[in-house]
Structure 1
């Protein structure tokens, strides 16, 4: 198959979940003999034309210069280029800034869209933008040939709101099994004597709630806050908690080995996300044998089930910090690790995508 992957900032991953997926899936598909193209933003630091056998197409992206509007221009440039490539399959990851251009996708290619989370629920957006995102969602549902939901909650939402079927394929992760405590040295923490939270600095990820709980708690172990805080909201939180010496803002970390070890050796890993499907960082924490305390919502519970502690307020975070230790909850840790090995491993997820693509081609054999 000739496969084009659109909707990310590019590979190798320097940004987030869709980029991580694109990197893992594209390189896997190449090993299975497929011809794969990934679109990269011109702002991406990787400038080569191939990556581990994957073709890289660099498209102009003015987001750094003009802000959010640049995403729309970048997506348009990617879709315009895709019209020249004679793809069998176009995998569109997300829809927020590409939906307005959906009618420009090449007609002979089968367009399969991963619907991501409920973007219009993100509190960082104004009411006007959130309404626009709902329209974008509707267009993506209507115009795509097939839809992928990466959580059962998103699948149910699409069925109930649009009466349209989607294919459930979860996000993937790896099982981490090579811990190295030397990785902790530059971070100046000790095994199971620190906690951590990793997320984009956005209100719906509840970093504020977790850190409020830390300040209320009598537990003074350090908490590592991982994520790019050089945003308006990030600066606000960094200033707000600057006087608390046990709250340590590390910034973004993309070294997967460091992240795996930090999660593995932590006492508690806090996951505050409330919007989206199967969250990548949550699965990675499960695969890194972290003990997880998650925000109490259906998305998180759908993945973790009974194998986590849940919170809905700073007071509940405080209680978890003061009463829960990883060493007392190793069964939770093992259950989550087993779930990654059986249900969320990348090999299985990647193969499900390829099987879906092959089925879609068979159903649409006359389109070429």
Structure 2
């Protein structure tokens, strides 16, 4: 098959979840003998024409000059280029800035869209932006030949809102196998004697609720708050909780080995995300044998099932901090780790996508 991957800033990954998936999946497809092309921003740090067997197509991306609107121009440039290349399948990762150009997509190609999370529910966006995102989601849902949902919650939403079937294919993670206690000493914490919360500093990730619960619990166990906090919301949280020395704002940590070790040796790992599909950081926490305390919603429950504890308010957070220990919940941790190996490993995820592509091509 001749396959294109659109909708990311490009590979190798320098940004986020879809870029990580595109990196792994494009290499997998090339290794299986398929002709695969990945669209990259013109100013992506990687400027070669091939990456692990995949062709790289650099297209002009004015986001660095224009902000968010530049993403629409970049997607337009990628779609216009795709019209010239006779692809069998075009995989679109997300829809936010691409679905308005649906009528320009090549008619002979099979268009498969990964529908990402429910972007229009994110409270960080203004009401007009959320309204646009809802419109963009609808365009992608009704104009694509096939849809992929990376969580059962997203699959259910697509069926309810648009009466459209979608293929459930989760995100992936690599099992963490080589813990090193020496790594966490760099962060001035001791094995099993600290908690963690890690997320983008956005209201729907419930960092505020978790930290309110920390304060209410009266428990002085250190909690590491990991995420880029040089934002308006980050300043609000640092100001609100700055007087509590056991609440440590660590900033963004991007060394995956350090993150894996911090998760592995932590006592409680809070996952506050309330919107979106299968969250990559949740799978990474499972893969690094963290003891997960998650926000109570269908997206998180669809992945963790009964192998986590859940919270809906700060009182529940406070109670969990004072009553639960990782050492008493080792079976749940092992169940999550096994789920990564059996259900969420990259080899399986890539294979599921390829099998779905073959099925779509056969139908055509």
TM range (shorter): over 0.9
Is 1:310 matched up with 2:315? no
**Match of residue 51 from structure 1:** 51
**Match of residue 234 from structure 2:** 234
**Match of residue 343 from structure 1:** 343
Give, in whole Å, the separation in 1 of the partners of 2:109 and 2:347.
25
| Local SS of the residue matching 2:130 | helix
- The offset of 1:240, in angstroms, is 2.6
Per-residue displacement from partner, 1:103-131 (whole Å, max 9, x unpaired)? 11122211100011111111111111111
Give, in whole Å, the separation in 2 of the partners of 1:278 and 1:110.
25
Give, in whole Å, the separation in 1 of the partners of 2:224 and 2:58.
35
Give, in whole Å, the separation in 2 of the partners of 1:234 and 1:61.
28
| Shift in alpha-carbon separation, 1:328–1:304, aligned structure 2, 3 A | same
**Match of residue 198 from structure 1:** 198
| Shift in alpha-carbon separation, 1:310–1:175, aligned structure 2, 3 A | same
Give, in whole Å, the separation in 2 of the partners of 1:36 and 1:262.
36
**Match of residue 63 from structure 1:** 63
**Match of residue 143 from structure 2:** 143
Q: How does 1:89-100 map to 2 (within 5 A)?
A: 89-100=89-100
**Match of residue 113 from structure 1:** 113
1:173–1:344 CA contact under 8 A, matched in 2: yes
**Match of residue 174 from structure 2:** 174
Give, in whole Å, the separation in 2 of the partners of 1:351 and 1:32.
10
Per-residue displacement from partner, 1:1-42 (whole Å, max 9, x unpaired)? 221111112222222221221122112222211222222224
Q: Decide which moves more: 342-351 or 22-31.
A: 22-31
- The offset of 1:43, in angstroms, is 4.5
Give, in whole Å, the separation in 2 of the partners of 1:117 and 1:204.
13
Per-residue displacement from partner, 1:266-297 (whole Å, max 9, x unpaired)? 11111011111111111111111100000011
| Local SS of the residue matching 1:113 | strand
Gaps of 5+ in 1: none
Give, in whole Å, the separation in 2 of the partners of 1:269 and 1:32.
38
**Match of residue 81 from structure 1:** 81
1:14–1:254 CA contact under 8 A, matched in 2: no
Per-residue displacement from partner, 1:234-255 (whole Å, max 9, x unpaired)? 2322333222222222222332
| Shift in alpha-carbon separation, 1:221–1:52, aligned structure 2, 3 A | farther
1:227–1:251 CA contact under 8 A, matched in 2: yes
Per-residue displacement from partner, 1:210-237 (whole Å, max 9, x unpaired)? 1222222222222222222222222322
Q: Decide which moves more: 147-156 or 39-48.
A: 39-48
Give, in whole Å, the separation in 1 of the partners of 2:219 and 2:42.
45
Give, in whole Å, the separation in 1 of the partners of 2:202 and 2:3.
33
Q: How does 1:1-368 map to 2 (within 5 A)?
A: 1-364=1-364
| Local SS of the residue matching 2:196 | strand
TM-score (normalised: structure 1)? 0.95
| Local SS of the residue matching 1:140 | helix
| Local SS of the residue matching 1:36 | strand
Give, in whole Å, the separation in 2 of the partners of 1:116 and 1:334.
28
Give, in whole Å, the separation in 2 of the partners of 1:268 and 1:274.
18
| Shift in alpha-carbon separation, 1:232–1:35, aligned structure 2, 3 A | farther
Let me know the Cα RMSD of the aligned residues: 1.5
Give, in whole Å, the separation in 2 of the partners of 1:271 and 1:85.
42
| Local SS of the residue matching 1:142 | helix
| Local SS of the residue matching 1:335 | helix
Q: Runs ≥4 in structure 1, deviation > 6 angstroms?
A: none
| Local SS of the residue matching 1:253 | coil
| Shift in alpha-carbon separation, 1:363–1:234, aligned structure 2, 3 A | same
Give the number of aligned pairs.
Answer: 364
Give, in whole Å, the separation in 1 of the partners of 2:155 and 2:95.
16
Give, in whole Å, the separation in 1 of the partners of 2:230 and 2:54.
32
| Shift in alpha-carbon separation, 1:183–1:52, aligned structure 2, 3 A | farther
| Local SS of the residue matching 1:220 | coil
Per-residue displacement from partner, 1:144-173 (whole Å, max 9, x unpaired)? 010001111111111122111111111111
